[in-house]
Chain A
Amino acid sequence: MKFTVLQAGRVLFWIHRKTKEGPAEQPCSARNSMRLVRFLAKRLMHAAFVLIGLSILIFLIARVMPGNPARMAMGPRAPQWAIEKLEKQMYLDRPLPIQYFYWFKSAISGDFGDSLVTKRSVSEDIIEYFPASLELAIYAAVFMGIAGVVLGTVSGWFANTWIDNLVRVIAYIGIVTPSFVFAIFFVLIFSYWLELFPTIGRLSSGIDGPPVITGMVTLDALITGNPAAFWDGLKHIFLPAVSLAMGPMAQEARITRSSLADNAGKDFIAAERACGIPERTIMFKYLLKPSLIPTISIYGLDFASLMGNAFLIELIFNWPGLSRYGMNAILQKDLNAVIAAIMVFGVVFVIVNIAIDLAVERLDPRIRFRTGG
């Protein structure tokens, strides 16, 4: 039973990672950077493989959908000749593998076809909508990171007091409440009753938006020195970001708390305490850093759930982001848009995972760059 428990623990705590620790060796920096390059190369190859597989999967799902994409694109009253022409253009008269091949070819060059709903090219839509989603995700991620760690640390610091219990209750509420419930009630309380925050969009209609540089309103406003737009943008993003982050934040808090508790029982902490090092120093200098490793590991997975839940949040807040775009595309069977939007999520997810692996390695010298999985 012993090994099962240990292994299960590890697997649960970071599913992505296959545990196979190499012999500990003292790193020298040259070897380290070599290893980094090799690690990155391997991860990137793996990422490419995953993304191609994902594209095949999504392409199949989209093509199984009933309905003729050409007719849908041209409208119900379009003349037959125009539809047939578009079918040829979209290779719909060819077998699936060939269709996929042509789709892949143009997708590589950034051409995902036209959207049925917006009547524009999908890549144009994505360029417009993605920064909004990214901005939302970044704010949510920052909030969930900071609030999660703070709550977890507070809870660990005041372990087994009423504060600890309070945090635990908050964490449970965060975990069990669907994000859309948070969103609805936040709008109700903070926008409707208290009138503190706006309800829809990224900027109020009276405010002139900053020129598009990154596409992220608050960042663009900062770059161009437009405090009014920055402030307005910040107010718009606050509620959606918080409702999005509540669930994962609770997760982070719980993990930080339990990992603090685990490490607090370790010998090295007892040793430090015996040496008379003040509790505060132990906490922030020696205890917190290793305890954050599982938190950061889970951060990647939480980022995924964040992007997933953004679908509902963006819908409720009318946030003009890629998730809402993808959601509408799914509801309205806008195939090109569905495929492209999901692919973008795949790419983001893969990148975030690699970044998280690198971050974990920085924090924990015991974990070497692993080249597997």
Chain B
Amino acid sequence: MKVLLKALGGIVVFTLAFSCIAQAADRPLRTTWAWPTYIDPAVGSDNSSTNALGNMYDTLVVPDKTGAPQPHLATSWNVSKDGKAWTFKLRRDVKFHNGDPLTSSDVKFSMDRMLTIGEGFAHLFSGKVDAVEAPDTSTVIFKLKDPFGPFLSTLFRLYVVNQKQVMANVITPGPYGDKGDFGKKWLVSHTAASGPYKLKEFKVEERLVMSLNTDYWQTLDPLVPDEYTMLGTTEAITVRTLMSRGELEVADRWQSNESLNALSRIKGVGLAKINGPGQFYAMIHTKKPPTDDIHFRKAMAYAMDYDTVTTHLFPGTTQAKGPIPRMMPGFDDSVFQYRRDLDKARAELEKSRYYSALDKNPVVIHWIAEVPDEEKVALLFMSNMAEIGINVDVVKVPWMSVVEETAAMDTSPHIVTIFDEAHYPEAAALLQSRYASPSANTWEQNEWLLDSTYDTMLEEALKTMDRESRFKQYAELQHYIVEQCPTLFMFDVMSRHAYRSDIMDWPAARGEVPPVQGYELLGRYIKIRK
């Protein structure tokens, strides 16, 4: 017995003595994220996926600080007079990580692959891109079905994959005919990329490690991170422990106020507030009683306490004005903004046809389990609505379940609160993904607006090549939406990250960030000083 105890004691002492043996990269950048992260360019489209893709893959054009497209893989481009053919000239010195040269056929392959698979960002191009041609190795032509004004901006989402490498790893038979599975299985945990970071280690649901591509065709600052780690956890205590032990440089954007306060008290840690190209929406089902009644919706919009949201729940944010965030090109400042006014709320409620049976018509609000602060908004909504007599049931729902339930009209809840961001920097991105009929069966639209007038107006706007007149039409669309009150426009997205301000130079923390999702944490723009 004594021997055993001694042995146990020995183990403990040994643990104490050797508690820290760590050998790391010179300039590591370690970050935490909400998982899952999909690194297949034809599959991933959420925040963590776009960050991983943007670090490892190259695109034809990249956005500058204002969101305007700048040359990247493409050195120049022009568009035909009818707006239907875009011709790009490519760089000739770009090599994939495996040494293959990047050519126009890879670009064509990437677009074809995305359109065939139909997941991820494919919705930006499907129905618009008719064909892609590669007349020579450094020229690529996109033929569009109709003129599409913001086309250049959508190309931020065309990540170029290595055709040869992908096709060598195709599994047949698969769901895509002679292309088998189109390399989908393989690309789950491998890359065929040319970007500034190479995939080093990928543990599904645990971590993604990327190392600097020293042969990158573009000259990078010598201080950019040489190893970039994405950890799949947002657990507050874990993040905090990692940060306080100097094992984390940037914390995820999903930390609660309390957690952020605690994190920023750690030595060397600062708080970055980054405006994002999105908004926090409470999406109201417009086809399900009782929220199918516009007066009922207006009553809710008047009863909501926006000030508490922007001061207590998400301090530092600004109440949104209409469906488009302020930083987004094409935002219109003249739309109506609801303020809390209980008298007006009651007056609207009296006009609604459910007024006499409020207790029989409870409103169900779903909030996303992965984002703890959303619960506060849901509970605030519940207590605000109780003041005017509307019964609210609050339900916590995992993200994947939200994706599933919003796919059908009858399973969609009355209200679901979601952070949604634009996929390309122009108001049209959100006007389309949020309210156009084709997106009704996705998580990006719980409203089920299904309004053909709106759809036609939007189509017309998108066909307009002239930026100014296009933006005018965006303004009309924003007014049109606000009149229907299909959404409680909560606040413009501002992600708050605790980060090591003592060793990091992070442009996004200074406000230098393009209004494009997934660009705030790209390694090539960040410098680490040791």
Q: Which residues of A contact B (CB under 8 A)?
A: 66-67, 71-72, 74-79, 82, 85-86, 89, 116-121, 125, 128, 146, 150, 153-154, 184, 187-188, 191-192, 195-197, 199-201, 204-207, 228, 231-232, 235, 238, 316, 318, 320, 324-325, 328, 331-334
Contact = CB atoms under 8 A, between A and B. Distances in A.
Which of A82, A85, A205: most chain B Cβ within 10 A?
A205
Nearest to A157: B1
B315 interface: no
A334 B400 contact: yes
Given A72-B404, A232-B21, A118 B205 contact: yes
A187 B401 contact: no
Given A82-B176, A207-B22, 17 more contacts: A75-B120, A77-B122, A78-B117, A86-B175, A120-B185, A120-B188, A128-B204, A150-B4, A154-B1, A197-B15, A205-B207, A205-B229, A206-B24, A231-B21, A324-B205, A332-B400, A333-B404
User: Which 3 residue pairs of A and B lie closest in terms of their CB atoms, listed nearest first?
Assistant: A332-B400, A75-B119, A206-B24
Contacts of B441: 76
A118 B189 CA distance: 9
A309 B38 CA distance: 29
A206 B241 contact: no
Given A119-B38, A120-B188, A332-B398, A199 B242 contact: yes
Contacts of B407: 67, 71, 76
Interface in B380-418: 398-401, 403-404, 407, 411
9 contacts: A66-B404, A67-B407, A72-B400, A117-B400, A119-B185, A125-B204, A150-B5, A196-B15, A318-B235
Contacts of B189: 120
A75 B43 contact: yes
A238 B15 contact: yes
B206 A318 contact: yes
Given A77-B442, A120-B188, A206-B23, A332 B399 contact: yes
Interface residues of B, number: 62
B83 to A, nearest CB: 25
Contacts of A204: 22, 247
Contact of B238 (A75, A79, A85, A199): A199
Contacts of B231: 200
Given A118-B36, A187-B238, A206-B23, A331 B398 contact: yes
A291 to B, nearest CB: 15
B168 interface: no
B166 interface: no
B288 to A, nearest CB: 17
B123 interface: yes
Given A120-B185, A334-B400, A192 B15 contact: no
Given A206-B23, A333-B400, A118 B4 contact: no
B63 interface: no
B244 interface: yes
B43 A207 contact: no
B184 interface: yes
B81 interface: no
Interface string B32-53: 0000101010010000000000
Interface in B158-180: 175-176
A331 B238 contact: no
B360 interface: no
Contacts of A128: 204
A74 B241 CA distance: 37
Contact of A67 (B19, B22, B404): B404
A199 B235 CA distance: 11
Contacts of B30: 205
B364 to A, nearest CB: 16
B530 interface: no
Given A200-B231, A332-B401, A333-B401, A191 B23 contact: no
A196 B16 contact: yes
A85 B174 CA distance: 10
A72 B16 CA distance: 48
Nearest to A201: B206
Interface in B119-153: 119-120, 122-123, 126
A231 B18 contact: yes
B237 interface: yes
Contact of B23 (A120, A121, A125, A207): A207
B240 interface: yes
A146 B407 CA distance: 52
B209 interface: yes
A223 to B, nearest CB: 20
B118 interface: yes
B400 A116 contact: yes
Contact of B411 (A66, A72, A187, A334): A66
Contact of A74 (B16, B118, B400, B403): B118
B233 interface: yes
Contacts of A318: 206, 232-233, 235, 238
A205 B203 CA distance: 12
Nearest to A202: B206
B245 interface: yes
Contacts of A72: 400, 403-404
B442 A76 contact: yes
B443 interface: yes
A201 B207 contact: yes
B188 A118 contact: yes
B169 to A, nearest CB: 14
A67 B400 CA distance: 11
B204 to A, nearest CB: 5
Interface string B206-241: 110100000000000000000001011101011011
Interface string B234-259: 01011011101101000000000000
Contact of B19 (A78, A86, A235, A331): A235
Contact of B119 (A78, A85, A197): A78
A333 B15 CA distance: 40
Contacts of B203: 320
A153 B400 contact: no
A77 B119 contact: yes
A191 B232 CA distance: 19
A146 B204 CA distance: 34
Contacts of A195: 19, 245
A82 B237 contact: no
A325 B118 CA distance: 27
Contacts of A196: 15-16, 19
A358 B31 CA distance: 49
A364 B5 CA distance: 28
A187 B119 CA distance: 39
Given A184-B237, A201-B207, A205-B229, A119 B242 contact: no
